[in-house]
Structure 1
């Protein structure tokens, strides 16, 4: 029997719980495993304890701390062919709310994502995309869910693709198989451990994790009742190529990374007020009429290296970087970054060095070999990447009819200032799903909501001169052992609660209130809140009242 939404928040806060029928020990857990699953470890974690990540887990080496009482389990699925085996992990809380939460991965990383299983802390704003220098605090399991993750069949850092060289089975594990089968086996283990089936099964991931979420909705729609997919790298065979392309283009006439904020502040100066309110946030980057010539260095500037302007050659590079990448027949290859993302361009462009993710993808995933150099970059690689589609990892089926017919729900979000994965890819994905389903008489809003988040970068963060209220307790956002939204642990502010409310009570989220803090590390003083509206609506200031309060905003169509 499924739990009603009336029991939702008491369960999560721990007033109603389900207890295990098995002990957290090797003998008990090993006895419930299928024959093709071998047990790696079973560890009982006490209240406020720390889980020590296995040394071989190079993708996610941070030890989660301040955990609730739980049983940590590591296991390995033994594949039938070489390189088809994979590992997975579970956190089974002593006080279980009857639900499961599977978390996705990031970049090319291998290793069980233990730290995201408890909602890892926010990366520092200066951190590079998909690095492993993550804070130790984790809180996701405090929601009370049984939480799962896979190692995607290998161990590596998020930027290392060498494991995929000439190994199709490894690529398939990373692309979809390891996650899907992890869900199957983890549900079986959870049911045996607690003596009842989970009431609801949820998923949350961002970046590669967002791609995995859409892939699940398309290929295995019965795995989850609800999915949260942030900044999805769904067009992975093109995105991996694109991150190499933008770095290649930027090296033709390099724009120093020190000038990204120069560009960003000029974009903000011109675009900010065009959305109806001067508030340091570009709410409608697609509607901004921007004049890049204002960035051009004047004739009296002698030191163009340190000046807060661009040379004519750099301005030409800027034009290319902010223009959709098209084939000669005008077919879209990949969308450009949006206005306002400039602060985060260093996620893909690093002052002349080749982008390590794009380079590794071409060398190893596409099989061109470790000796291939980025100077050999050629647009023909696009066709090669599309033809091979390593691991069949892309999520481009679009027809989510089966997911919809099962009564399942999907929340999709993407930062409008994302400098890692261009936000336009999410708009394109939404439109393609809409075009696939509307002719079938399906209104996508009945099961799928897309939330563009003004001012947010890749999965997390906002530029220090923007301070956008992006925080909705999504994966990668939480910090300091917090979970949910401090002072606002409800479906109006927390994206996971919003999904649960939709799945379990039928209350669709038209908006989720984003929060900004004076200090995102301590999450104490709130500086701003406003609704983040479901596309195609946008938040518009009502024209009176404090613009930092959410009640003075409304969601409306602009066109």
Structure 2
């Protein structure tokens, strides 16, 4: 096994040019596509009169269609609001004169119940026609009430809404521009990442390329593979009677100890851990002992921390617990609602769907899938995507047969929500996917950057205002799993070209 690992790392080192030689994809100028006729704005208004009620599998109607002028983020576009029977709300953005001939669809987050505008607004600036949906219900980000005694709503949330939104989005795009889109892409993170995996598994003909980020998926092989109970158990482990057993200062003490123990696993002291699976840190190392009663952990705190790591959180993720598990002032964090949820996830069966490793139909159709996950994620546990990818490899017949259509990228130091002091979590995933789908250029290495100013939207795409050289703190290459980036021992550690591919020995 060791010889095979070394041989593979050597092959990758030969096959992949140094990071400095990689041309980082940048958004290409959008095309000049426009609806037929002399007045695109008028065509937008008329779109409301088109009858979509007989669209097979996705009967729908357009509620409003309004021509919008350009602003700092987007070109002039047609803003469409509509409904897919019976209860799915959707929104589309259609460039009036700069359509690139492609359709994109983005996912939602949390429990959905609302339409997230940011992802579509970002790609519309690149010429895409784009759709976002609420997955069939109205509610708040952490609202579970919609699922009670609502099996049709659970089905919409689980898989139907994403699929029929694809049908609707293509139909509206064709009706507006008078031609079908040349390519269709999906991108989403968290719940949106789960949506992407389910699309590849259940509806392999919907998209040419899919970006599934930090998916809210269960643990493959578990029975049932639910994601919710593990996170709930982590929150409960750090609380007694609804009150946190650790404050932010103690959480940061644990974080500092974990990083100090394992920071050099990539040959560089950079403040985060490249592969936490190899980290030997244990909370008991900080336990209070005779003569040491401050700056240490009580037996109850050690037990709670052990449980969190056992549930799936990784050493190095602790900074993300502040705000999520523990409030900044020692109050319960934003996941405290999980402790009081009496319904115990009425739609837990949905997470079973995202763990199906049979992607043969998606591959046969020529689909490409990029799955990414942060090693320091406190909300979607990193080993779930790793186990899923490894299961797909076994089913597909090996790494080569898998990586020709599906690649996993594990990002060191990335939490669920980008934060100050984290890893290089900003990647132009969409350009890499376009290059793979349209030009056959597989993503052998990604160029990732840490931004000084955190983007106002955390996901697979980023507003252009943040993608400027003066906003880059440092950069790193990210290689397809299981290959990692390792500092060469020379060169500027803030530059991606100072790193090389390395096969970790677990």
TM-score (norm 1): 0.75
Q: Does 1:418 find its partner at 2:398?
A: no
**How far apart in 2 are the matches of 1:268 and 1:340?**
6
Which residue in 2 is equivalent to 1:6?
Answer: none
Secondary structure of 2:233's counterpart equals helix
Q: Does 1:320 find its partner at 2:307?
A: yes
**How far apart in 1 are the matches of 2:429 and 2:356?**
25
Residues 415 and 455, structure 1, Cα contact 8 Å, conserved in 2: yes
Residue 29 of structure 2, aligned match among 4, 8, 13: 13
Q: Deviations over 1:175-215 (max 9, x none)?
A: 11111101101101101110111011000000000000000
Residues 215 and 393, structure 1, Cα contact 8 Å, conserved in 2: no
Which residue in 1 is equivalent to 2:390?
Answer: 431
Secondary structure of 2:397's counterpart equals helix
Residues 91 and 146, structure 1, Cα contact 8 Å, conserved in 2: yes
Secondary structure of 2:343's counterpart equals helix
Residue 471 of structure 1, aligned match among 404, 426, 450: 426
Deviation at 1:507, TM superposition (A): 0.7
Residue 83 of structure 2, aligned match among 70, 76, 82: 76
Residues 240 and 357, structure 1, Cα contact 8 Å, conserved in 2: no
Q: Does 1:396 find its partner at 2:355?
A: yes
Which residue in 2 is equivalent to 1:113?
Answer: 116
Secondary structure of 2:316's counterpart equals coil
**Residues 12, 512 of structure 1: CA spacing in aligned structure 2 closer, same or farther, 3 A cutoff?**
same
**Residues 66, 499 of structure 1: CA spacing in aligned structure 2 closer, same or farther, 3 A cutoff?**
closer
Residues 532 and 538, structure 1, Cα contact 8 Å, conserved in 2: yes
Residues 110 and 158, structure 1, Cα contact 8 Å, conserved in 2: yes
Residue 455 of structure 1, aligned match among 413, 416, 440: 413
Secondary structure of 2:64's counterpart equals strand
**Residues 44, 452 of structure 1: CA spacing in aligned structure 2 closer, same or farther, 3 A cutoff?**
same
Residues 337 and 422, structure 1, Cα contact 8 Å, conserved in 2: yes
Residues 247 and 354, structure 1, Cα contact 8 Å, conserved in 2: no
Which residue in 2 is equivalent to 1:29?
Answer: 48
**How far apart in 1 are the matches of 2:449 and 2:360?**
34
Q: Does 1:405 find its partner at 2:339?
A: no
Which residue in 2 is equivalent to 1:343?
Answer: 319
Which residue in 2 is equivalent to 1:547?
Answer: 493
Which residue in 2 is equivalent to 1:123?
Answer: none
**How far apart in 1 are the matches of 2:357 and 2:281?**
33
Which residue in 1 is equivalent to 2:63?
Answer: 40
Q: Does 1:222 find its partner at 2:205?
A: yes
Please tell me the root mean square deviation across aligned C-alpha atoms, in Å.
2.5
Q: Does 1:91 find its partner at 2:106?
A: no
**How far apart in 2 are the matches of 1:531 and 1:436?**
28
Q: Deviations over 1:204-228 (max 9, x none)?
A: 0000000000000000001000000
Deviation at 1:293, TM superposition (A): 3.4
Which residue in 1 is equivalent to 2:178?
Answer: 195
**Residues 229, 431 of structure 1: CA spacing in aligned structure 2 closer, same or farther, 3 A cutoff?**
same
**How far apart in 1 are the matches of 2:26 and 2:43?**
25
Residues 172 and 393, structure 1, Cα contact 8 Å, conserved in 2: no
Residues 244 and 354, structure 1, Cα contact 8 Å, conserved in 2: no
Deviation at 1:359, TM superposition (A): 5.1
Secondary structure of 2:112's counterpart equals coil
Deviation at 1:275, TM superposition (A): 3.1
Secondary structure of 1:363's counterpart equals coil
Secondary structure of 2:353's counterpart equals coil
Secondary structure of 1:143's counterpart equals coil
Which residue in 2 is equivalent to 1:249?
Answer: 237
TM-score (norm 2): 0.83
Residues 251 and 318, structure 2, Cα contact 8 Å, conserved in 1: yes
Deviation at 1:160, TM superposition (A): 0.7
Which residue in 2 is equivalent to 1:481?
Answer: none
Which residue in 2 is equivalent to 1:443?
Answer: 401
Runs of 5+ in structure 2 lacking a partner? 1-24, 220-224, 456-465
Q: Deviations over 1:151-189 (max 9, x none)?
A: 111111110111111111111111111111011011011
**How far apart in 1 are the matches of 2:157 and 2:404?**
31
Which residue in 2 is equivalent to 1:333?
Answer: none
Which residue in 1 is equivalent to 2:250?
Answer: 259
Residues 262 and 280, structure 2, Cα contact 8 Å, conserved in 1: yes
**How far apart in 2 are the matches of 1:337 and 1:112?**
29
Deviation at 1:347, TM superposition (A): 5.3
Which residue in 1 is equivalent to 2:449?
Answer: 515
Secondary structure of 2:195's counterpart equals helix
**How far apart in 2 are the matches of 1:24 and 1:10?**
31
Deviation at 1:442, TM superposition (A): 6.9
**How far apart in 2 are the matches of 1:434 and 1:274?**
26
**How far apart in 2 are the matches of 1:251 and 1:70?**
49
Residues 25 and 42, structure 1, Cα contact 8 Å, conserved in 2: yes
1 or 2, which has the higher helix percentage? 2
**How far apart in 1 are the matches of 2:309 and 2:115?**
36
Deviates more, 1:339-348 or 1:496-505: 339-348
**How far apart in 1 are the matches of 2:50 and 2:309?**
57
